[in-house]
Structure 1
């Protein structure tokens, strides 16, 4: 009797002081007992709940699922753990986690239910999920925005796209873009009061807070500052602030690119009016030309050349394995030789389009190979002299440019000069590469040459030298050969 009394006292002590809710429920889902913590957690006094259906306070959408779990626990005599929502007496929805433990061999199939309030944890999980979804949404928006900017070609289109993005992602930002004229100190458009005094302090891309707004200088164009403003209160999370800064960064890059394109177009228009070609245009043209040559060389080598070589090997194998009449045999061997000549010609064309090992060998060795190859099939003799070129390192543009100039000089000599001797003299002096060419050919009247002359490919040389920021001088008289002096500043 004493032990029973002691156990009852321990149970009552635990029941009164436990932070969790303890319920005893019978097989008919009627509450037989509930701890006092029920009132502090759900607002109902224990006497209000005892004798009633245990599933009454449950959120309607979770009720059937939990009732089925209760029946399964009674049937299997195994504990069950569930999460669900319960409606507080004041109408608030709370999240609970319960563990149902069947009482073994009890005639009413009683179960003891231990219930823990997990509302805080579930709210945190929901908040984390929302933040994760928001982060993913912002990432996707940035990706789409950056892709859309690739098609923007006007500042007005850029402004429209930026405002649309801000209104979509941060609806309460109330974005505006105005133009501040730095010469007249006036603002074009509706802008918050007090901004002008802060304009000199605005830095491109930096968020400036002022009068409950955020001001951002997107960039300057023709003495006009393009400024974005949004409501500061619309940026509620750090991820929103990071998204805004990244969005502005993308916008500034495109804004600067549009300024550069406009400047280049103006330069090009001016140059065309003066019948001139600026250095950057020449460099662009030659770089594009070299890229096309490289692609054509690669295509010829990987397709046409390989096909011709396969035909050659197949025909060669047929001639070795089979015997033909003399006339047919001669015709097939003629075709075989024709294929061999074609293969050789394609290889030479590939080499001319893209000089082999030019980058690996360096300019001097590549020129020596070119002179050796040219000498075999030419009537003139070539002499190549170098001074102070040990360890000469040039960038790719300088290397290919000088190589192409020498190629053109050799082509010109073969087609027009009627020379017996050619001399190339190359030396480095004070950061400048000097290239001197001379021949004993028929020459021409150099005084009649103009900047736009087209004769003998010399205009191409002049433009190539100009693209490398170098100078070129032609010295010639009829019957006295040709001399050319070239100076090219080098990067190393």
Structure 2
């Protein structure tokens, strides 16, 4: 009888241990399943956010192009018509009319027409293929250099204009460079900007530097406000890699690797 009791106790304890082990295994399995589902939900949410971001950027680009076209076609034509009207009035003016009024008015209208064309070009640059892309970059550099406030130097590899760059990639990189230049002019107190572009292993490597005041190392992760967030969003959209190699030195530096395939 005692042997049977001992046997029953051992069997009962084993049964309890097995039951506990089974419950633990089920609990771990459920937790792993929950973690897997949460991970999938997080990945789906990230993918959804990326899709939303791409839609917003695409929508912004379309709106910019529309506004740029409207400025060029409608406002530009109105200003040109106004200039012709002033010229016509100048031909019929009397001796009492002030001739300087006509010349000053034409000069002001010409200046406004130039500004409208420049704004229109910035909103909707004519980028089609690699030639259009690099032409747009050169025009952007010319505009900055003509201002006289800062010097922008471009350093491109030979035959780089023959790169097989897609239009959406070219537009994104153009916007990124324009935003970086804008940040430098507004915040960096720099005298010089350098942009170098080279090609290696189906990637376009770009380095942007200025000799301004830079910003602290702990802000490299956070970026410099909304402008840097827009830059990173556009780079994410074209699956580009970037880094800030100059964390403690004077000035600002950013390296960007853009896949071409």
Normalised by the length of structure 2, the TM-score is: 0.74
- Within the candidate set 410, 435, 445, 2:206 is matched to 435
- Asked if the contact 1:416–1:456 (Cα under 8 Å) also holds between the matched residues in 2, the reply is no
Q: Does 1:378 align with 2:153?
A: no
Q: Which moved more, 1:455-464 or 1:333-342?
A: 333-342
Q: How far apart, CA to CA, are the structure 2 residues paired with 1:469 and 1:442?
A: 29
Q: How far apart, CA to CA, are the structure 2 residues paired with 1:376 and 1:312?
A: 25
Q: Does 1:285 align with 2:65?
A: no
- Cα-to-partner distance string for 1:162-220 (whole Å, 9 max, x where unaligned): xxxxxxxxxxxxxxxxxxxxxxxxxxxxxxxxxxxxxxxxxxxxxxxxxxxxxxxxxxx
SS at match of 2:208: strand
Q: How far apart, CA to CA, are the structure 1 residues paired with 2:68 and 2:152?
A: 27
Q: Tell me how far 1:280 sits from its aligned partner.
A: 2.7
Q: Tell me how far 1:330 sits from its aligned partner.
A: 3.5
- Within the candidate set 355, 359, 367, 2:128 is matched to 359
Q: Does 1:446 align with 2:209?
A: no
SS at match of 2:162: coil
- Asked if the contact 1:417–1:441 (Cα under 8 Å) also holds between the matched residues in 2, the reply is yes
Q: Which runs of 5+ in 2 are unaligned?
A: 1-40
Q: Does 1:314 align with 2:91?
A: no
| Residue of structure 1 in register with 2:180 after alignment | 409
- Asked if the contact 1:476–1:483 (Cα under 8 Å) also holds between the matched residues in 2, the reply is yes
- Asked if the contact 1:371–1:382 (Cα under 8 Å) also holds between the matched residues in 2, the reply is yes
SS at match of 1:379: coil
Q: Tell me how far 1:379 sits from its aligned partner.
A: 2.3
Q: How far apart, CA to CA, are the structure 1 residues paired with 2:93 and 2:42?
A: 69
Q: How far apart, CA to CA, are the structure 1 residues paired with 2:133 and 2:186?
A: 24
Q: How far apart, CA to CA, are the structure 2 residues paired with 1:420 and 1:461?
A: 22
- Within the candidate set 256, 262, 270, 2:45 is matched to 270
Q: Tell me how far 1:340 sits from its aligned partner.
A: 1.9
Q: Does 1:459 align with 2:218?
A: no
- Asked if the contact 1:268–1:278 (Cα under 8 Å) also holds between the matched residues in 2, the reply is no
Q: 1:311 to 1:381 in 2, by over 3 A?
A: same
Larger radius of gyration: 1
> What does 1:107-122 correspond to in 2, within 5 Å?
none
Q: How far apart, CA to CA, are the structure 2 residues paired with 1:365 and 1:425?
A: 15
Q: Tell me how far 1:277 sits from its aligned partner.
A: 7.4
| Residue of structure 2 in register with 1:345 after alignment | 115
Q: How far apart, CA to CA, are the structure 2 residues paired with 1:340 and 1:362?
A: 26
**How many aligned positions are there?**
219
Q: How far apart, CA to CA, are the structure 2 residues paired with 1:391 and 1:344?
A: 31
Normalised by the length of structure 1, the TM-score is: 0.41
- Asked if the contact 1:446–1:475 (Cα under 8 Å) also holds between the matched residues in 2, the reply is no
Q: 1:442 to 1:341 in 2, by over 3 A?
A: same
CA RMSD of aligned residues (A): 2.6
Q: Tell me how far 1:472 sits from its aligned partner.
A: 1.8
Q: How far apart, CA to CA, are the structure 1 residues paired with 2:247 and 2:96?
A: 62
Q: 1:329 to 1:476 in 2, by over 3 A?
A: same
- Asked if the contact 1:440–1:482 (Cα under 8 Å) also holds between the matched residues in 2, the reply is yes
SS at match of 1:323: coil
Q: Tell me how far 1:365 sits from its aligned partner.
A: 2.8
Q: How far apart, CA to CA, are the structure 1 residues paired with 2:65 and 2:161?
A: 28
- Asked if the contact 1:441–1:479 (Cα under 8 Å) also holds between the matched residues in 2, the reply is no
- Asked if the contact 2:144–2:151 (Cα under 8 Å) also holds between the matched residues in 1, the reply is no
| Residue of structure 1 in register with 2:28 after alignment | none
Q: 1:268 to 1:314 in 2, by over 3 A?
A: farther
Q: 1:478 to 1:312 in 2, by over 3 A?
A: farther
- Asked if the contact 1:442–1:479 (Cα under 8 Å) also holds between the matched residues in 2, the reply is no
Structure ranking higher on relative contact order (CA contacts 8 Å, 6+ apart): 2
- Asked if the contact 2:192–2:210 (Cα under 8 Å) also holds between the matched residues in 1, the reply is yes
- Cα-to-partner distance string for 1:358-383 (whole Å, 9 max, x where unaligned): 21633223212221222111322222
Bigger share in strand: 1
Q: 1:485 to 1:383 in 2, by over 3 A?
A: same
